A and B are shown apart, each in its own frame.
Chain A
Amino acid sequence: MRLNRTQSGICTASLLCLIILLSVSLRILYANRYLPNRDSIHYVLVAEQAAEGGFWDEFCLEYSPNMPPLLHLILGGIAILGGDVFFWGMVLMLLSNVIFIYGIYLCGKELFHNYPPAGLCAALLVATTPEFISVGGNIMRDNLYHCVFVFALYCGIRMAESKKTMVLDAIGYGICCTIGFLCRKEAVEIPAILMLWGIVSLFASRANFKKVFQSSMIAFFACLGTALPVFFVLNLYYPVQSALISALSSRL
């Protein structure tokens, strides 16, 4: 029996929903069964200080000042609003996992045109890999970073696949660079991959140099446009310079 396009779409969407449901269930099961990671506890403790007014001090004391602060800011915001930091933190983690799985599906679909179910297959593999379940069942910055990383990957794959410059994808890529760096310092790899792609394209036989150059520049300016305001706002409270210096010095 051959499925028409609509039926195939419904079937894929249903399977994807099932995979996402499976992924969320596994992570909830994991969180309910095991002790949370020590990192989770520290994040919650620091965030709870936000309600008492000593957030930044506690943050800097608990961690080195080189820690990217996005997750702490979100959890601190939850504490200020009076929510249960652990519960809503877990909700946030599950949400970012859902987005991560969806992003993996999109990447797989984009990457293997000839095998449409490859995206579903990739999503299933990621949803059930033990280490991803363990991280997904804890409050960790990794979850946010995976989510951003996979969308940067998706934008990058689309930029590379297309014959013309994909402006929206390039902008998305730039924004992912900024958000990624606010999640984990390892996010320096996102722009590094773009640079490597640019260099590799120089030697590729069928590369469109104009497209590569334009995409890179758009991504660069999108990154700059989002990073600068964040940098100046955060700098009022947080030693962003040291985070940058530390990230660069430890990577080089």
Chain B
Amino acid sequence: MFNSYFVNTLFYANIVVLGVYLFFLVCFPKKRPRNLYFLSAIFLTILWRIIVGSLGYYQSRRYFLPATALLLLLLSGGIFHLCHFIRNVLLHFFLKRFPKNNSCGWLFIAAVLIGILSINLPKAFHKDPHNTEKKTISCIQKYLESANGNRTVLANAKIGRRLQNRIPAENVIIYSFDNKNDVSEIDIDAFIYNLALDNKDFILVLSDDVRQQEFSSKERLKELLGVFPFDYLTSVSGELITYSVFQYNKQIGRIGATETVPDPEAVILSQQSPSGLLFDLSSLMSSDEFAATDFTEKESVYMGTYWRLAPSSPFLDGKEFMVYICNVASWPVREYSATITKQENTANLHLRLKRQAEVKKAAAESCYYSINRIPKAFIPQSGGTVDQSNLLLSLLNSDLELTLRQASGDASQNGAAHWPGESYKAALTGSGVQEEWAFNAIHPRNQTSDQAYRILYVGCALEEDRIKDIFTQSVLNFSSESTIDYQFYPEIAFASLGDYEKHLEKALGNQTYDFVVLNIGANDFLWKSPTWNDFQRAFTPKHMLAQLFKKISVRYPGTCFAAVLPQLPAPGDAFFHQGSPFNWRKKKQGHHSLCNTLYEIEKDVNSSNFDVVPAFASIEKQDYPMTDNGVEKQYTYTCLLLPQGYQKVADAIVAWLAVKAEKDHE
């Protein structure tokens, strides 16, 4: 990373000056900057950036700019030293005299500066196809406006940012090969598939070079998605690049919508109560919804479906405010504009529906799980269970939450602090998905085995003390003759996938194992890492992960591999902001994406020696360290389970092991 920033023309021009200056510092130590603070600053800013950059954390050149500023400061002194040195040498050798004035020196300095500027300025404004020209943007704008019924979709075409800003409810994604951070080295079809999982509606604008070379395999996309998902719309030519504009077919994978339209206007008569006016809002909402307003007033209290307002409230004087009806996941689904008209002893609450989310009923066939592959759940014979919702949450696409997010009032402050998993489960149960959804429950026939197996468990070091003994005991209960090796990698290793691969290859080495358990996610450490919690950035490591698993399953044909699905993000994430589960949602989206990738890999590998094992599927709320009233403060960010939780995980893995052992035996 550090190299890629400095390896350019500017670097070479600057490094010559800097090199001569450093030579100077060695030869004439009295000339060097003696400011210890400055030297410490240069040393530290460059050193830690190199270290962190080499670990793969920094993916942008911008992070190195403070270090660059320090180098340029040093360079400015160097230019003066260099110029004076050259001037003195020239004057001494050619004119046989030492200078009496500085005019020659100034000329040299000016020459060096002009030289640097002549490199810098063209470089800043050179024709870079990555920076799309205005003309192209203008063409795309015209097209998009015509496609949207001549509505103005770009508020300010001159600036161009609105292209990405004002497309109603859709994303516009523009790619060209020069946009190397995004697609140049990866499979464009797979990339589109991934986008289709994460963004349901979008316009894809591809430069022709991308389209011709990579986006030509319609058949492959058909195979991946069941149908070619794009309508080709038009081509837009700019001065440098021709773009092709595609509209993602919204019907693909869309969950069937059912709308419940309440009365557009409603009047609710208040009831008398000792401490104020009481409004019954039950007619506005169903039993699993709650109401919230856009103001906070100490005297106004929500009690179930009732809303109590103090007699002194300023809202009794006809001031307009908003009422939101939120679903169990705290998303506002309907937004009302409200006013209160006061009469003698009563008041009327006038509500006018302003916005309504398109509430969709999730249907089983529309859920993306393992690309039409029914997941397998390995259930121990000893009576373990699989919570269907946990599996469903991992694999269901994020439509449910995204479509409910039409208004984003401050509703979360008034919402009950649900454990987010529970909220989602409730939402799913209510939508009827859970009843329709299916998975393959596989039970081992035998609880024990006489065979001796060699087993390798690869997991995160964070869980070492917690799961090691439990897993060992579970395996020995199944097969007392078995031996288990453990390879634990540091929490950070999976974030930089290269390290994970190294750990895995080191553990496998030349050994011959019967079973290898790959536990890839220590939950929050997975989602906290910048590599994984950003969808676009996460694509490359997911691609690498697929290659890795394919490689090892082929290289070790006699070994059965289990890739354990990562557990759901820690429930405590929901509680950082007065019960708002936003952060949990974000992580859950990443989780969903990774889980689907693992099932994709399973399908691609298509080998009997590679399985995805949803070992965390039986984890429940009570398996996390928390009180009945919610998550304890100190556990807010934990991803670790209680021993009973790890026991369930170990049992599920051993169930897989028993099933595979039976097949091998047959």
Q: In the complex the two chains form, is B582's CB within 8 Å of A60's CB?
A: yes
Question: Considering only CB atoms, which chain B residue lies closest to A120 in the complex?
Answer: B76
Q: Mark B22-38, 1 if CB is under 8 A from A, else 0.
A: 00000000000101111
Task: Select A193's contact among B44, B77, B163, beta carbons within 8 Å.
Answer: B44
CB proximity of B239 to chain A, nearest CB, Å: 13
Q: Is the interface of A mostly helix, strand, loop or mixed?
A: helix
Q: In the complex the two chains form, is A54's CB within 8 Å of B113's CB?
A: no
Question: Considering only CB atoms, which chain B residue lies closest to A45 in the complex?
Answer: B165
CB proximity of A118 to chain B, nearest CB, Å: 5
Complex Cα gap A100–B609 (Å)? 59
Q: Mark B574-586, 1 if CB is under 8 A from A, else 0.
A: 0011001011011
Complex Cα gap A149–B412 (Å)? 37
Task: With A58-B408, A60-B580, A207-B36 as known contacts, state yes or no: A130 contacts B10, CB within 8 Å.
Answer: yes
CB proximity of A106 to chain B, nearest CB, Å: 11
Residues of A5-49 at the interface with B, using a CB-CB cut-off of 8 Å, are 26, 29-30, 33-36, 38, 40-41, 44-45, 49
Contacts of B124 in A (CB 8 A): 26, 30, 128, 130, 133-134
Q: In the complex the two chains form, is B69's CB within 8 Å of A36's CB?
A: no
Complex Cα gap A130–B160 (Å)? 21
Task: With A54-B408, A108-B76 as known contacts, state yes or no: A128 contacts B117, CB within 8 Å.
Answer: yes
Task: With A130-B120, A132-B65 as known contacts, state yes or no: A197 contacts B40, CB within 8 Å.
Answer: yes
Is A53 part of the binding interface, using a Cβ–Cβ cutoff of 8 Å?
yes
Residues of A188-233 at the interface with B, using a CB-CB cut-off of 8 Å, are 189, 192-194, 196-197, 200-201, 204, 207
Is A145 part of the binding interface, using a Cβ–Cβ cutoff of 8 Å?
yes
Question: Considering only CB atoms, which chain A residue lies closest to B70 in the complex?
Answer: A153
Q: In the complex the two chains form, is B409's CB within 8 Å of A54's CB?
A: yes
Q: In the complex the two chains form, is B40's CB within 8 Å of A193's CB?
A: yes
Complex Cα gap A53–B407 (Å)? 10
Task: Select B36's contact among A58, A201, A251, beta carbons within 8 Å.
Answer: A201
Q: In the complex the two chains form, is B65's CB within 8 Å of A36's CB?
A: no
Q: Which of B55-63, B366-374, B464-472 contacts its partner? A: B55-63
Contacts of B165 in A (CB 8 A): 41, 44-45
Q: In the complex the two chains form, is B69's CB within 8 Å of A104's CB?
A: yes
Contacts of A189 in B (CB 8 A): 44-45, 48, 66
Contacts of A45 in B (CB 8 A): 165
Q: In the complex the two chains form, is A131's CB within 8 Å of B294's CB?
A: no
Question: Considering only CB atoms, which chain A residue lies closest to B42 in the complex?
Answer: A193
Complex Cα gap A54–B294 (Å)? 10
A interface size (C-beta, 8 A): 77
Complex Cα gap A67–B326 (Å)? 27
Task: With A57-B412, A242-B576 as known contacts, state yes or no: A112 contacts B10, CB within 8 Å.
Answer: no
Is A83 part of the binding interface, using a Cβ–Cβ cutoff of 8 Å?
no
Is B86 part of the binding interface, using a Cβ–Cβ cutoff of 8 Å?
no
Q: In the complex the two chains form, is B65's CB within 8 Å of A135's CB?
A: yes
Q: In the complex the two chains form, is B161's CB within 8 Å of A86's CB?
A: yes
Contacts of A194 in B (CB 8 A): 37
Is A124 part of the binding interface, using a Cβ–Cβ cutoff of 8 Å?
yes
Question: Considering only CB atoms, which chain B residue lies closest to A159 in the complex?
Answer: B37
Interface centre among B161, B533, B585 (most CB of A within 10 A): B161
Q: Mark B455-466, 1 if CB is under 8 A from A, else 0.
A: 000000000000
Complex Cα gap A43–B412 (Å)? 22
Contacts of A4 in B (CB 8 A): none
Residues of A157-210 at the interface with B, using a CB-CB cut-off of 8 Å, are 157, 159-161, 186, 189, 192-194, 196-197, 200-201, 204, 207
Residues of B534-591 at the interface with A, using a CB-CB cut-off of 8 Å, are 576-577, 580, 582-583, 585-586
Is A93 part of the binding interface, using a Cβ–Cβ cutoff of 8 Å?
no
Q: In the complex the two chains form, is B125's CB within 8 Å of A104's CB?
A: no
Q: In the complex the two chains form, is A126's CB within 8 Å of B37's CB?
A: no
Contacts of A30 in B (CB 8 A): 124-125
Q: In the complex the two chains form, is B582's CB within 8 Å of A242's CB?
A: no
CB proximity of B354 to chain A, nearest CB, Å: 12
Contacts of B113 in A (CB 8 A): 121, 124
Q: In the complex the two chains form, is A130's CB within 8 Å of B80's CB?
A: no
Residues of B84-140 at the interface with A, using a CB-CB cut-off of 8 Å, are 109, 113, 116-117, 120-121, 123-125, 131-132, 134, 137
Complex Cα gap A108–B38 (Å)? 11
Q: Mark B146-169, 1 if CB is under 8 A from A, else 0.
A: 000000000010011101110000
CB proximity of B512 to chain A, nearest CB, Å: 38
Q: In the complex the two chains form, is B528's CB within 8 Å of A142's CB?
A: no
Contacts of B72 in A (CB 8 A): 104, 122, 125-126, 129
CB proximity of B228 to chain A, nearest CB, Å: 28
Q: In the complex the two chains form, is A64's CB within 8 Å of B583's CB?
A: yes
Q: In the complex the two chains form, is A61's CB within 8 Å of B585's CB?
A: yes
Is B301 part of the binding interface, using a Cβ–Cβ cutoff of 8 Å?
no
Contacts of B37 in A (CB 8 A): 156-157, 159-160, 193-194, 197
Complex Cα gap A119–B77 (Å)? 8
Q: In the complex the two chains form, is A54's CB within 8 Å of B410's CB?
A: yes
B interface size (C-beta, 8 A): 66
CB proximity of A245 to chain B, nearest CB, Å: 7
How many pairs of residues, A versus B, come closer than 8 Å at their CB atoms?
190
Q: In the complex the two chains form, is B161's CB within 8 Å of A200's CB?
A: no
Task: With A29-B125, A130-B120 as known contacts, state yes or no: A153 contacts B80, CB within 8 Å.
Answer: no
Is A146 part of the binding interface, using a Cβ–Cβ cutoff of 8 Å?
yes
Task: With A53-B410, A108-B76, A124-B113 as known contacts, state yes or no: A65 contacts B583, CB within 8 Å.
Answer: yes
Q: In the complex the two chains form, is B116's CB within 8 Å of A111's CB?
A: no
Q: In the complex the two chains form, is A61's CB within 8 Å of B121's CB?
A: no
CB proximity of A57 to chain B, nearest CB, Å: 5
Q: In the complex the two chains form, is B76's CB within 8 Å of A61's CB?
A: no
Q: In the complex the two chains form, is B161's CB within 8 Å of A35's CB?
A: yes
CB proximity of B479 to chain A, nearest CB, Å: 39
Is B68 part of the binding interface, using a Cβ–Cβ cutoff of 8 Å?
yes
Is A140 part of the binding interface, using a Cβ–Cβ cutoff of 8 Å?
yes
Task: Select B637's contact among A35, A41, A107, A242, beta carbons within 8 Å.
Answer: A242
Complex Cα gap A56–B163 (Å)? 25
Q: In the complex the two chains form, is A112's CB within 8 Å of B132's CB?
A: no
Residues of B577-614 at the interface with A, using a CB-CB cut-off of 8 Å, are 577, 580, 582-583, 585-586
Complex Cα gap A157–B585 (Å)? 46
CB proximity of A233 to chain B, nearest CB, Å: 15
CB proximity of A161 to chain B, nearest CB, Å: 6
Complex Cα gap A107–B72 (Å)? 11
CB proximity of B327 to chain A, nearest CB, Å: 15
Question: Considering only CB atoms, which chain B residue lies closest to A150 in the complex?
Answer: B69
Task: Select A111's contact among B63, B77, B160, B528, beta carbons within 8 Å.
Answer: B77
Is B526 part of the binding interface, using a Cβ–Cβ cutoff of 8 Å?
no
Question: Considering only CB atoms, which chain B residue lies closest to A128 in the complex?
Answer: B120
Task: Select A60's contact among B44, B132, B160, B577, beta carbons within 8 Å.
Answer: B577
Q: In the complex the two chains form, is A160's CB within 8 Å of B65's CB?
A: no
Is B493 part of the binding interface, using a Cβ–Cβ cutoff of 8 Å?
no
Is A69 part of the binding interface, using a Cβ–Cβ cutoff of 8 Å?
no
Q: In the complex the two chains form, is A193's CB within 8 Å of B41's CB?
A: yes
CB proximity of B29 to chain A, nearest CB, Å: 13
Task: Select A108's contact among B45, B73, B116, B583, beta carbons within 8 Å.
Answer: B73
Task: With A122-B76, A131-B62, A193-B44 as known contacts, state yes or no: A41 contacts B164, CB within 8 Å.
Answer: yes
Question: Apart from A36-B161, A131-B61, A134-B124, what are 15 other A-B pairs with CB-CB below 8 Å?
Answer: A26-B121, A33-B131, A57-B408, A57-B577, A111-B38, A125-B116, A131-B65, A142-B62, A156-B38, A157-B37, A160-B38, A193-B40, A196-B40, A196-B44, A204-B36
Q: Which residues of B contact A (CB under 8 A)?
A: 5, 10, 33, 35-41, 43-45, 48, 52, 57, 61-63, 65-66, 68-70, 72-73, 75-77, 79-80, 109, 113, 116-117, 120-121, 123-125, 131-132, 134, 137, 156, 159-161, 163-165, 294, 408-410, 412, 528, 533, 576-577, 580, 582-583, 585-586, 637
The 3 closest A-B CB pairs, nearest first, are A54-B408, A160-B37, A122-B76
Q: Could you give 30 example pairs across A and B, Cβ below 8 Å?
A: A30-B125, A33-B131, A34-B131, A40-B161, A44-B161, A44-B165, A57-B580, A58-B408, A65-B577, A108-B73, A112-B77, A118-B80, A121-B79, A122-B72, A128-B117, A130-B120, A130-B123, A131-B62, A131-B65, A134-B124, A146-B66, A153-B70, A189-B48, A192-B44, A194-B37, A196-B44, A197-B41, A204-B36, A237-B577, A238-B577
